[in-house]
Chains A and B, each alone.
Chain A
Amino acid sequence: MTGLEKYRWDLVNCERCSMCKWVHPWKTQSHRFAKVCPSVSKYLFDAYSAQGRFDVIRGLLEGEIEVTDKVLEVIYACTLCGGCDVTCKFSRDMEPLEILHQIRIELVKSGKGPLPGHKAALDSIKNYDNPWMQPRTRRSNWARKLKAKDLTKEKAKILYYAGCTYSYNPDLQIVAQNTLSLLLKSGLDIGVLGNKEICCASPVLKVGEEDLYHDFAKKNIQTFNELGVDMVITSCSGCFGIFTNHYPEIGKMNFEVVQGVQLLEKLINEGKINFRKKVPMTVTWHDPCHMGRGGEPQNIWNGTRTKWGLSDPPRKRNFGANGVYDAPRNILNAIPGIKLAEMERIREYSWCCGAGGGVKSAFPEFANWSARERIEEAKSTGAEALVTACPWCELNLGEGVKADGDKIKMLSLINIVTEALGE
């Protein structure tokens, strides 16, 4: 557990304030939607909060307890959504999310993690470069009808990185298709990697398989650098979060990483996209964790805590407020007919869809529960549709919507944009 030693200060100084369980009190708008941590909200025992996990990890470090199946459950039944990280850091100089990642890495190193439920996706990534057990040869099928450059053969300024889920999932491929098609029509010099695109390895890191993650991350950074592109665009928030928030410590990246919605907003502002059709609908926006608080640029720090807990060298921390929050809202507000009704837990206080951190595969019931919570919140706004820009959120919330009797629609932002373009 040596990788956790550098967090000892955090672990012993947690004061049990419980801020990590709730939306910040000043941002709390109701009794019903006051909580931020899906895990402790579902499982109730404190062990399932950042505070409780700190105690469990401290207990492991100090030899008070051992790794058991229950310890594994406690550690992995967490979506790594980062809600706790935002709320803890408001008042404490601690890194809950880093610690929650690191304990998984340590569990894997000691041969205890990950969970059996994670195995299929991991094997698939190892064998096929994607978590969906799909052959590499079919990866580029989604883009067949689009005339994008093949960057394995020619040069372009921008790489469109579709990610595994948008590439393979037949229900979601339309997101990548609509995005790329729109970007091409806007005259951007853009291309794809075709079957040579490989997984970003976010699901690998999330369950603690650090070595495998490093292999993929290094390969991706090398490929992107060698392409000589200025920009990598992705529509997948999972890929976006891992590129911006985790890759920088792996190696130098000679390109900018952009979420598709950021570029769309820019094109709207530049007048390159004009909406011709009204879309009369009230919608609400779900901030995906990895595009929001988890999409902030990484602040790399290697140092120690000195007297009074000061960090040496001084540490710049991520507070979650600099994620991609305005772009999707500005896009929705620019579409004629669309009325945006906000939920209570938004931006850095967004409630997780429930799919992240390997929860969808290992704890499907929890993933579903978390989604249902979000859907309740979405419905409470009076919206007809819940809109987002992340395949994991869309799949998991979509399942929740179905289980709830389709009382609200689940939509991808790009698909509304495409409709408003009237094409």
Chain B
Amino acid sequence: MSLPKGAYQVLEDVLGPENISDDPAITTAYSYMWLLYITHAQSGKYRPAAVVLPSSTEEVQAIIRIANRYGFNYIPVGSNLLPPTIPVRPDTIIIDPKRMNRILEIDEKNMYAVVEPYVSYAQLQAETHKIGLTITTPEAGSQVSVVANNMFQGMGGMAHKFGYNRGILGVDWILPNGDLLKIGSRGVPNGGWFWGDCAGLNLKGLVRADTGHCGGLGMVTTMAVKLFPYPGPRIFPCEGANPNFVAKFPEDRFKIFLIDFPTKRKVCDAMYDIGHCEIGAAVHAEGANWMLASDCASVEEFWERWPDFQKKWKNILAVTIAGFSSPRQVEYEEKVLMEIIKEHGGKLVDEELYKVGYNAMGEAFRTGLSNRLYRPAGDFFVMGGFGFDSLDHTLKSSEIFWPIIEDAYKRGLFVEDTTKSDWINSYQMGHFSEVEPIVYFEHDLKAGEAFLLGYIKTITDALAKKMHPSWPLGAMNYITGPAMCNYHELVLGLKKLLDPRMTSNPGYPLPETNPFAPPPEQEK
């Protein structure tokens, strides 16, 4: 848990003594992770060797060069929500970007913002809303880092309308060898930040690819992100006091419809048609457990309401309509939506359920409720999912996931859920989709094991049916790779090329060796 001799001093010389610490009182705060604890029971095993607080691209570059020279590992982090931000190897430092917290530019005309890694979505949106622009925010919450989220999944509530992770424009990126690489229009002299792609070789895919490299390929120090029109109020229209908030938008520009369909199939058919007609700002089938959790101020309240709520909330689609161009857009889209609802046998929910789901509209524009996902049992996660493909694929995936989940809740490990709480998302006008079955479990090793093994089974079951599997994190790429043109070899090749000393969050995007491989045969 300590740095190679001399390395600390060199880092301190670059950063100043107040911006580096290897004291356990400091590093312990970067060593514990809820999900790691249950899945690997290894939290606290590796405290970071130090935590550093750079203030600029140059300082990040210096840190990464020093790591290469002295041979220690580093993990760039944003707000630290995800398991890959916790060291699972010795000699690892955390690059905490709290001093890199500036919005460098908001270009109203060209609709983009340039941010450093510790700018949160709520901060950025608060500024862009003042000029009628917005950015979509993830269910991870608007307190997370814009840069880190874009480096990871970057999928927000408005991806139906604004596109799935299409927001990355110009990027300044310190490669694992310490070189500064400028991506998109940044790569062209005086090109500015406005464009994500560039003439010739387009390296944007390398910045994050499908679901990001989890800090395994250096650190992005500045990113330009695309902004979109926003017809809402300057200040987020939140009424009420903690813990009872309601986001009330002007009704001539914003409406939410909660529609009850007879089956999940019908939900997806309606989602297809909504996409074909190019209406809707945010379109999600909302899982019962998550919807109720978002409306509850305590775990006790959840459990009091859950038995009855399960009977009422099934196959419900939430469609938020926004009048980006004018109030007439709302009128038009509402008419079209009503036709679609009729065609697929849907009906608008009653007032009681409408009240519960109403805040899904606010959540679509600025996530703020999503940490209530943890409320029902302490821990939650998505059991399989993120298999980005068509809406039909989403339905088939759900059929794979639920028997695995049911098995765990029958063993008392997960919360029982007869509604099969799928969160089904439409992206890019229904052109593609993904499903996230939300499961709840307690913070214990048995439940964690059931989750981890279950998740892997969702992958292997999908692969057996030649389907796009659940999203593989780290080592799981060794399971999915062979079924998908051995892409994992290409990824590993890139990792070795760009990070020959394997210092940038080793283990990501995937570890050097396959942990699932059978042990080599022993010589007789």
Contact = CB atoms under 8 A, between A and B. Distances in A.
Given A13-B379, A56-B29, A93-B375, A24 B242 contact: yes
B70 interface: no
Contact of B44 (A59, A320, A348): A59
A12 B25 contact: no
Interface stretch (A131-139, A229-237, A305-313, A357-365): A305-313
Contacts of A73: 25
Interface string A11-22: 011111111011
Given A17-B143, A28-B236, A46-B96, A56 B28 contact: yes
A309 B32 contact: no
B37 A18 contact: no
Nearest to B300: A314
Interface string B365-390: 01111111011111100000000000
B80 A68 contact: no
B379 A47 contact: no
Contacts of A71: 24-25
B362 A26 contact: yes
A70 B241 CA distance: 37
Contacts, number: 202
Interface string A307-325: 1111100110101110000
A64 to B, nearest CB: 5
A317 B298 contact: yes
A100 interface: no
B28 A18 contact: no
Interface stretch (B122-130, B261-269, B508-516): B122-130
B319 interface: no
Contact-residue bracket for chain A: 35 or more
B429 interface: no
B33 interface: yes
A153 interface: no
Contacts of B370: 91
A148 B25 CA distance: 52
Interface in A60-74: 62, 64-65, 68, 70-71, 73-74
Contact of B299 (A14, A22, A309): A309
A34 B146 CA distance: 15
Interface in A141-173: none
Given A22-B122, A317-B298, A17 B243 contact: no
Given A25-B121, A44-B53, A31 B300 contact: no
B225 interface: no
B442 A307 contact: yes
A342 B402 CA distance: 50
A84 B238 CA distance: 19
Interface in A25-67: 25-31, 34, 44-47, 49, 51-53, 55-56, 58-59, 62, 64-65
B79 A18 contact: yes
Interface in B75-127: 79-81, 96, 98-99, 103, 119-127
B81 A17 contact: yes
A22 B143 contact: yes
A286 interface: no
B378 A308 contact: yes
A86 interface: yes
Contact of B99 (A31, A44, A319): A44
Nearest to A69: B25
A295 to B, nearest CB: 14
A17 B33 CA distance: 11
B25 A70 contact: yes
B235 interface: yes
A295 B47 CA distance: 38
B54 to A, nearest CB: 11
Contact of B123 (A28, A64, A74): A28
Contacts of B367: 25
A16 B80 contact: yes
A28 B129 CA distance: 11
B51 interface: yes
A18 B145 CA distance: 11
A345 interface: no
Contacts of A45: 21, 26, 29, 51, 53, 96, 98
Interface in B238-277: 238, 241-243, 245, 247
22 contacts: A13-B379, A14-B34, A15-B81, A16-B81, A18-B81, A22-B143, A25-B137, A25-B143, A25-B236, A25-B366, A26-B366, A27-B236, A28-B236, A30-B127, A51-B29, A58-B32, A68-B23, A73-B25, A91-B375, A315-B300, A317-B298, A321-B241
Interface of A: 9, 12-19, 21-31, 34, 44-47, 49, 51-53, 55-56, 58-59, 62, 64-65, 68, 70-71, 73-74, 86-87, 89-93, 307-311, 314-315, 317, 319-321, 347-348
Pairs A-B, 5 closest by C-beta atoms: A52-B29, A321-B241, A91-B371, A25-B142, A25-B122
Given A25-B367, A320-B242, 11 more contacts: A12-B443, A16-B34, A16-B79, A25-B141, A44-B19, A47-B26, A47-B28, A47-B29, A86-B242, A319-B242, A347-B241
